[in-house]
Amino acid sequence: MDARDRLIVGLDVPTVAQAETLVSTLGDDVLFYKIGYQLAFTGGLELARDMAQSGKKIFLDMKLLDIDNTIASAVENIVKMGMTMLTLHAYPKAMQAAVDAAKGSDLCLLGVTVLTSMDNQDLLDAGYSQDAKSLVLTRAAQAKAAGMGGIVCSAQEASAVRAILGPDMALVTPGIRPAGSDNGDQKRVMTPAQALIAGSSHLVVARPITQAQEPKTAAQAILAEMQTAL
**Residues placed in the known binding site for substrate:** 12, 34, 61-70, 116, 177, 186, 206-207
- Per the annotation, binding residues are 12, 34, 61-70, 116, 177, 186, 206-207
The strand ranges marked E within 11-125 are 32-35, 57-64, 85-89, 108-112
Strand, helix or coil at 108? Answer: strand
Rounded-to-integer distance, Cα 101 and Cα 74, Å: 9
Question: For residue 117, what is the DSSP state?
Answer: T
User: Which residue numbers are catalytic?
Assistant: 61, 63, 66
Residue 176, φ and ψ in degrees, nearest 5:
-90, 125
Sign of CA dihedral 15, 17, 21, 26: positive
Q: Which of 56, 98, 52, 48 is nearest to 73 (CA)?
A: 98
Residue type, 172: V
14 close to 40: Cβ distance less than 8 angstroms? no
Residue 124, φ and ψ in degrees, nearest 5:
-60, -45
Strand, helix or coil at 219? Answer: helix
N-terminal to C-terminal alpha carbon distance within the chain: 7
Rounded-to-integer distance, Cα 229 and Cα 64, Å: 32
